[in-house]
Structure 1
Amino acid sequence: MADALSAGYDAVLFDLDGTVYHGSKVVPGAPEALRALRDHGTAVRWVTNNASKAPAEVSAHLEALGLPATPEEVHTSSQAAAALLVERLPQGAVVLVVGTDSLAAQIESVGLRTVREAGPDVAAVVQGHSPENTWAALAEACLAIRAGALWVATNVDATLPSERGLLPGNGSMVAALRHATGAEPLVAGKPAPGLFTTAARDAGAERALVVGDRLDTDIEGAVAAGIDALCVLTGVADAASLIAARPEERPRYLAADLSGLSSRAELLEIGPKDGWRVTAQGDVLEADGEGDSLDLLRALCAAAWESGITEVRGVGDTARAALGELRLG
């Protein structure tokens, strides 16, 4: 553990969906990775954009999957939304909730009142993911937003990872309201840096590491917060999206899954890798050599981010096979 990536950090801030579980299924290797962190005394925090569950429900779900957790370790976008609203509204102000009862309870816990229908007293709308969100709920929110209510979205994730695959996320429902109202919500969760900075401060961390599977939320939020990030390929991010990542979406480290936390940092870092040569030939990156396919991806990312070239081509059967494993080329 002394030379592991995690040994260089005093707290690890985990995303949930797509990183440690898919719905009711734990990501392989997650329990072992968490156990190693706990045994080493590294602080753990759970940072999620999913506003459908209260911290106690989140920790109970983690416990059921064999991932020890406490409610105090959980930081959700519903908490971030409540903090954002209470900063902008007087005590007792009325907030229309589009989302779960847990989201409504979180809003009420900071001294605001919640309703489910539009009316002249509605000062704000808060929108979070719920499998029960309906057209009728969006219609009430649409009326309130059009009447001038402040609009806060817990998050704008377009998709939600599940054991069956990617499902519509809160961002897809936000897009419907954005189209219907012409308004733009304030976003409480990732990629805004607040969830990560709050979690790191709560852990007393001097050097935290973010672990996540989404470039546009987990990694972008970590970059915005000035925190190193490890991207894992167990959820949304894939080789093509990593190569094309915008500067604000670029992780420092890349691993297949959470077992990477026990690997040496220099092996996981994005950059040139032994065994692989990546060169720019016109508007194409050519890859030649042999070795681990993830090492090739790390080298390709470094070259693409420096050159702006995202098209890749393998030179030789070995390189072409590695690109095939990565679903590139």
Structure 2
Amino acid sequence: MLVDAYDTLLLDLDGVVYLGKHAVPSAPEALERARRGGVRLAFVTNNASRTPAAIAQHLTHLGVPAASEDVVTSAQAAARLIAERVPPGSPVLVVGGMGLRTAVRAQGLRPVTTALDAPVAVVQGMWDGLSYGLLAEGTLAVRQGAWFVGANGDSTMPTGRGELPGNGSMSRVIATATGVEPVVAGKPEPPLHRESMIRTEARRPLIVGDRLDTDIEGATRAGVDSLLVMTGVTGPLDLLTAEPRHRPTHIALDLTGLHAPPAWTRAEDGGHACGGWTARRQDGRLTLSGDGDRMDGLRAACAAAWEAAGDGGADEDAVKPVLARLGF
């Protein structure tokens, strides 16, 4: 089975394990099966608003038993990043919620809420209670020379109601007002992956996510394998037109794909085959023949499209006939 090649799953949460208050269908069962097989589960999230304990409690409620030490957040990565640069006890202005404040305090730093405390750094993370006043204090502090760190740069975040503004969008307020770009700790930047490896001591990790620009690019940068599941943000067209840094090692409909044999593509008759499907590039367009599991068809089409695109991304018009053929 695919999961047998790895000792640790570094799992994104939103769009992979749950969507808002509800578990992704079949996710709890797939993860429990992996755990029973001896694979460690670590839940790695760009969401900095909640503490690891609160996230673990939410996971457990959804049928995915977890402890706080199983959760790695961008808030923890950001706090470590700051702590490695400034003296212990330094004031850090937290533009975010309890998850970020707790992470800062855990690193021996002093969270503050006003620029009058002369903070050495400003760290911003997504929080639904974010106010103009706190953004204003962050702006003043950065203008006074504080180091600006963003827990993550996600422009949006998936919810049960759809995609809402993420921390990457909200941090533009301070960046625009000061002309200073934040140093980002979360995916796809290296600090969060480093934090995950420190906490899990993984030797053969598999990064599992639903976003190409965070989860998959983060895996590419770290040089580790990745699994893209289709239960969150990324759609088939996004996959077919992905640039090299956004191309996952494995593709599955959902987490049940962990317990199926790896679906490798193979070169065949001038094209790429997977299962009962063969994809070819002909006259500047992508064609697909055969039948069977449409995920195998998508895998074959991706292999052909990526080969043809080389270091770039495939043209949307050239790959759309394949999507219609597969019923996407």
Normalised to the residue count of structure 1, the TM-score between the two structures is 0.90
- Equivalent residue number for residue 298 of structure 1: 299
Structure 2: state its 5+ residue gaps: none
Partner Cα separation in structure 1 for residue 265 and residue 209 of structure 2: 14
2:35 to 18, 38, 47: 38
State the Cα distance separating 1:27 from its structure 2 match. 0.3
Alignment partner of 1:169 is 2:166: yes
- Equivalent residue number for residue 288 of structure 1: 289
Partner Cα separation in structure 2 for residue 13 and residue 144 of structure 1: 35
Residues 175 and 300 (structure 1), Cα distance of their counterparts in 2 relative to 1, 3 Å cut: farther
Q: Residue type of the partner of 1:287?
A: L
State the Cα distance separating 1:312 from its structure 2 match. 3.2
Map 1:1-329; keep pairs closer than 5 Å.
4-119=1-116, 121-266=118-263, 272-308=273-309, 309-310=314-315, 311-312=317-318, 321-323=324-326, 325-326=327-328
Partner Cα separation in structure 1 for residue 287 and residue 172 of structure 2: 38
Paired residue secondary structure (2:116): coil
Paired residue secondary structure (2:274): coil
Partner Cα separation in structure 1 for residue 103 and residue 163 of structure 2: 27
Q: Residue type of the partner of 1:48?
A: T
Partner Cα separation in structure 2 for residue 209 and residue 249 of structure 1: 15
Partner Cα separation in structure 1 for residue 109 and residue 198 of structure 2: 26
State the Cα distance separating 1:313 from its structure 2 match. 5.2
State the Cα distance separating 1:314 from its structure 2 match. 7.1
Kept after mapping to 2: 8 A contact 1:255/1:268: no
Normalised to the residue count of structure 2, the TM-score between the two structures is 0.91
Deviates more, 1:23-32 or 1:218-227: 218-227
Partner Cα separation in structure 2 for residue 16 and residue 258 of structure 1: 12
Paired residue secondary structure (1:176): helix
Count, aligned residues: 319
Partner Cα separation in structure 2 for residue 177 and residue 322 of structure 1: 46
Partner Cα separation in structure 1 for residue 63 and residue 123 of structure 2: 32
Paired residue secondary structure (1:122): coil
Q: Residue type of the partner of 1:302?
A: A
Residues 198 and 84 (structure 1), Cα distance of their counterparts in 2 relative to 1, 3 Å cut: closer
Deviations 1:45-80 (A, max 9, x none): 111111111111111110011101111111111110
Partner Cα separation in structure 1 for residue 323 and residue 159 of structure 2: 31
State the Cα distance separating 1:206 from its structure 2 match. 2.2
Q: Residue type of the partner of 1:312?
A: A
Partner Cα separation in structure 1 for residue 14 and residue 286 of structure 2: 33
Kept after mapping to 2: 8 A contact 1:13/1:200: no
Paired residue secondary structure (2:226): strand
Kept after mapping to 2: 8 A contact 1:273/1:298: yes
State the Cα distance separating 1:292 from its structure 2 match. 2.4
Deviates more, 1:298-307 or 1:209-218: 298-307
State the identity %: 47
Deviates more, 1:181-190 or 1:260-269: 260-269
Kept after mapping to 1: 8 A contact 2:52/2:99: no
Deviations 1:263-302 (A, max 9, x none): 1013589963243332223432233333322222212221
Residues 76 and 285 (structure 1), Cα distance of their counterparts in 2 relative to 1, 3 Å cut: same
Residues 202 and 90 (structure 1), Cα distance of their counterparts in 2 relative to 1, 3 Å cut: closer
Partner Cα separation in structure 2 for residue 320 and residue 242 of structure 1: 11
Deviations 1:64-120 (A, max 9, x none): 111011111111111101100011112222211110023112212222222212237
Deviations 1:227-266 (A, max 9, x none): 1000001111111111222211111000111111111013
Kept after mapping to 1: 8 A contact 2:78/2:191: no
Residues 289 and 314 (structure 1), Cα distance of their counterparts in 2 relative to 1, 3 Å cut: farther
Partner Cα separation in structure 2 for residue 113 and residue 280 of structure 1: 58
RMSD after superposition: 2.1
